[in-house]
Chains A and B, each alone.
Chain A
């Protein structure tokens, strides 16, 4: 069952949507408090765990999630909070550091909205990348290069196969 939907509405965006069984204020806190982030944000099935999770939740404040894959050299996701409107909306940037202190070029701006209805919350996370190349790189994450040009065509093709 696909409860999480992923859409690519333009060349530079990824939009993720999911409805969760809790009130918006709780989902918002789970998205922004280190003790909660540590529990859900690292993809466990891939053997990724948190090393450190620092959050300074205020406009202009920064966050840094340091992770490791089976104890190997740590990598990090970090950024800055731009807009905080608890519990409805959160805007922040995100950069990837494949190894400590070495950031990949291209910062994403992520807007998350939390819409509560009958005790459940639909969250929409819209990630906007500076270019199609950066976005496709994120989607590829680890695949061989040289496939980026074809991504758009493939996406259409796969979309049509599903439908």
Chain B
């Protein structure tokens, strides 16, 4: 999890991930699209690959990089934690106020 954060903390790496969301790309294409030279792109891709965020898809003579969904899903889950605490609380609250509401309506009859 920490690796995912560290890998994405570098702005150019995040730009690469954003770019690959639209489909896999060859190393050269990534450089052209983001105005980065090839050694820079290769360096960033290495970090992203180590973090499990991208994978190489062998295609003819080129090294084509694509996104791996798994670490991004984990990230999504992390952001969800706070929301889930509230979801759980409010489920309990909903049950409670439902009971209280019913009780009060009966009393009035």
* Chain A interface residues (CB < 8 Å from chain B): 2-6, 14, 16, 18, 20-23, 26-27, 29-31, 36, 39-41, 43-46, 119, 121, 138-139, 141, 143-144, 146-147, 149-150, 153-155, 157-158, 160-162
Contact = CB atoms under 8 A, between A and B. Distances in A.
B64 interface: no
B82 A2 contact: no
Given A20-B93, A20-B97, A26-B101, A157 B86 contact: no
Nearest to B103: A26
B96 interface: yes
Contact of B86 (A6, A27, A30, A160): A6
A23 B93 contact: no
Contact of A144 (B2, B18, B93): B2
A6 B11 CA distance: 26
Contact of B90 (A4, A119, A141): A4
A74 B32 CA distance: 56
Given A27-B97, A147-B5, A161 B92 contact: no
Contacts of A3: 87, 90-91
Interface stretch (B23-31, B38-46, B54-62, B71-79): B71-79
B88 A21 contact: no
B51 interface: no
Given A149-B9, A150-B5, A4 B86 contact: yes
B85 interface: yes
Contacts of A143: 78
B87 A2 contact: yes
Contacts of B95: 40
Contact of B89 (A41, A150, A160): A41
Nearest to A1: B87
